[in-house]
Every structure is written in structure tokens, then in C-alpha cells.
């Protein structure tokens, strides 16, 4: 599903871009690698909490990277439909 969102152009990758997407209210769901660094985890969780954007950590960094084809610790889903579908899969 994450790969599908990427092909649709609805995935924001990279820490700085994800933080900007959260602050700009473009991010609907943030996926954070479960083994991401403590500093990154705190930064993303704090920003997500402040802007009321859900942050989930269902995958490791390696699994998340394999799903999108790039080495990334955090990605944001910009489309509400993809975010809702991913949220349902995560629960």
C-alpha cells in the first residue's frame, strides 16, 4: 500500500520534507520506522502530536525502505484516502 501511494505521488519522504508536510497540514499519516533513532522518534512524535497528525511505527526502517525502494526512516502519506486505508490495515 505504501508503494502504491508512492507511485501515485502521494508520499512525502525524507525527514525535513516530512516535518514540513506535517507543519503545512499536508501529511495525513506519518509512518516512522520502529527502530528509528530516539532523536528522530521524539521529533516526529512531538510534531505529529502538536499538529494532530497520527504517527504509526508498524515497520522497521529496513521494511519501510524496502516498501518504497529508498533508504528512509520516516515517510508521510499526503492523500486522505491512502492514509485511511493504511490506518485500517494497521489496526
Whether the per-residue pLDDT at 73 is higher than 90: the answer is: yes
The predicted-structure confidence for 24-63, as pLDDT tens digits, reads as follows: 999 999 999 999 999 999 999 999 999 999 999 999 999 9
Q: What is the per-residue pLDDT for 50?
A: 97
Q: What is the per-residue pLDDT for 10?
A: 85
Q: What is the per-residue pLDDT for 91?
A: 74
Distance CA 42, CA 88 (A): 24
Long-range contacts of 5-11 (CB under 8 A, 24+ apart): 5/77, 5/79, 5/82, 5/86, 6/68, 6/69, 8/79, 8/82, 10/77, 10/78, 10/79, 10/82, 11/68, 11/75, 11/76, 11/77, 11/78
Residue 61: what are its φ and ψ, rounded to 5°? -60, -40
Amino acid at each position: 500500500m505504501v508503494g502504491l501511494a508512492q507511485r501515485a505521488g502521494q508520499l512525502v519522504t525524507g525527514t525535513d520534507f516530512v516535518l514540513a508536510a506535517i507543519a503545512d497540514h499536508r501529511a495525513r499519516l506519518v509512518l516512522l520506522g520502529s527502530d528509528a533513532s530516539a532523536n528522530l522518534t521524539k521529533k516526529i512524535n512531538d510534531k505529529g502530536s502538536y499538529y494532530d497528525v497520527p504517527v504509526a511505527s508498524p515497520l522497521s526502517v529496513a521494511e519501510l525502505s524496502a516498501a518504497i525502494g529508498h533508504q528512509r526512516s520516516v515517510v508521510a502519506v499526503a492523500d486522505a484516502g491512502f492514509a485511511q486505508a493504511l490506518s485500517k490495515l494497521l489496526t
